[in-house]
């Protein structure tokens, strides 16, 4: 699509005879040019439109060049063999862009991105993500990411909305940053493996009895600032967890056994104990 006034171009979807978008059955990689020419006029390619490459079943690798400043919603939705994506700095929002890319297992999101919504929903192979530093809200971002084990949330985050981590079956631990004030209903629904949560806020974020529905909260360790233990033990939702202090126990090298969990709290960190061996929550054995 061309903007004759701005002399810019947008990559748009291919429409097949059935009216379906993104019909590129033999495309395994893409290369987006800096410019295109039409009618003797040169246009700068600046954006990828909605559904531009959605359902391109054979697409494996995408390297989006630096001159692309925006990507429309669902641009790569349903590209089930897409495994590798490179995103440039300058893009500021991602809405459902990679939803249901079931082979995508890792991606780096540029620091320029400030808004994400359902961007990885249904990415069942995605195993780890580091989010950029200026995001304030998450909504259905990782819904049904069954392989997700580790995610780093930015300090800027304020709200975790409904379905953000729905059915993240392998998510073991998470740190909720200090500025988070809301954890909405079903935000962590059916996160059955979640056994350690760190909440850094002195004031318990607003949460409901349904924020962590489907999991056994009583066996999940909730680490909070020591000065806020009583607040969390009385707050709705949080009081149902095994609340423990984030701060180091009294005494150098002191450890606290966390009952029925197979874990110990040592110097503000939780470790897994299996027989004579001790492991970090990431599975690394301590020597």
Token pair recorded at residue 26: 């033999």
What pLDDT is recorded for position 86? 84
Tens of pLDDT, residue by residue over 244-253, are 998 744 333 4
What pLDDT is recorded for position 265? 58
User: What pTM, to 2 d.p., does this model score?
Assistant: 0.80
Given a contact cutoff of 8 angstroms between Cβ atoms, the answer to whether 239 and 267 are in contact is: no
CA-to-CA distance for 265 and 254, rounded, in angstroms? 9
What pLDDT is recorded for position 26? 66
CA-to-CA distance for 205 and 202, rounded, in angstroms? 9
CA-to-CA distance for 136 and 113, rounded, in angstroms? 11
Pairing of strands 8-11, 2-3: antiparallel
CA-to-CA distance for 92 and 116, rounded, in angstroms? 9
Q: Which residues of the chain have pLDDT under 50?
A: 17-22, 248-255, 259-260
Residues, the chain, total? 287
Listed residue (201, 195, 249) closest to 222, CA to CA: 195
φ, ψ of residue 88 in degrees (nearest 5): -90, 155
What pLDDT is recorded for position 287? 61
Residue 249 CA to chain centroid, in angstroms?
A: 32
What residues contact residue 75 under an 8 Å CB cut-off, 6+ apart? Answer: 48, 49, 50, 51, 52, 53, 54, 97
CA distances to 112, 124, 139, 195, 274 from 104, in Å: 21, 8, 19, 25, 32
- 3-state secondary structure (DSSP) of residue 219: helix
Token pair recorded at residue 218: 């009583």
Torsion sign, CA atoms 59, 63, 68, 71: positive
- 3-state secondary structure (DSSP) of residue 274: strand
Alpha-carbon dihedral 16, 1, 35, 27, rounded to 10 degrees: -20
């Amino acid at each position: 699509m061309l903007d004759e006034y701005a002399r810019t171009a947008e990559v748009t979807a291919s429409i097949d005879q059935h009216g379906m978008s993104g019909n590129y059955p033999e495309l395994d990689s893409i290369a987006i040019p800096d410019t295109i020419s039409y009618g003797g006029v040169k246009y700068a390619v600046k954006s990828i439109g909605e559904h531009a490459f959605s359902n391109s079943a054979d697409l494996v690798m995408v390297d989006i060049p630096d001159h692309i400043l925006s990507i429309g919603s669902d641009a790569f939705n349903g590209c089930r063999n897409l495994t590798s994506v490179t995103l440039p700095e300058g893009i500021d929002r991602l809405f459902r862009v990679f939803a249901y890319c079931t082979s995508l297992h890792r991606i780096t999101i540029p620091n320029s991105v400030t808004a994400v919504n359902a961007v990885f929903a249904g990415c069942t192979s995605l195993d780890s993500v580091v989010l950029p530093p200026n995001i304030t809200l998450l909504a259905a971002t990782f819904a049904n990411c069954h392989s997700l084990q580790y995610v780093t949330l930015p300090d800027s985050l304020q709200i975790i909305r409904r379905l953000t981590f729905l059915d993240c079956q392998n998510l073991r631990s998470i740190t909720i940053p200090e500025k988070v004030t809301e954890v909405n209903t079903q935000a962590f629904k059916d996160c059955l493996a979640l056994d350690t949560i760190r909440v850094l806020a002195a004031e318990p974020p607003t949460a409901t009895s349904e924020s962590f529905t489907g999991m056994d909260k009583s066996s999940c360790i909730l680490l909070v600032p020591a000065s806020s233990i009583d607040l969390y033990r009385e707050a709705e939702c949080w009081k149902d967890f095994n609340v423990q202090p984030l701060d180091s126990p009294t005494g150098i090298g002191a450890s606290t056994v966390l009952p029925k969990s197979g874990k110990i709290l040592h110097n503000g960190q939780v470790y897994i104990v299996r027989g004579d061996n001790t492991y970090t929550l990431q599975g690394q054995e301590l020597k």
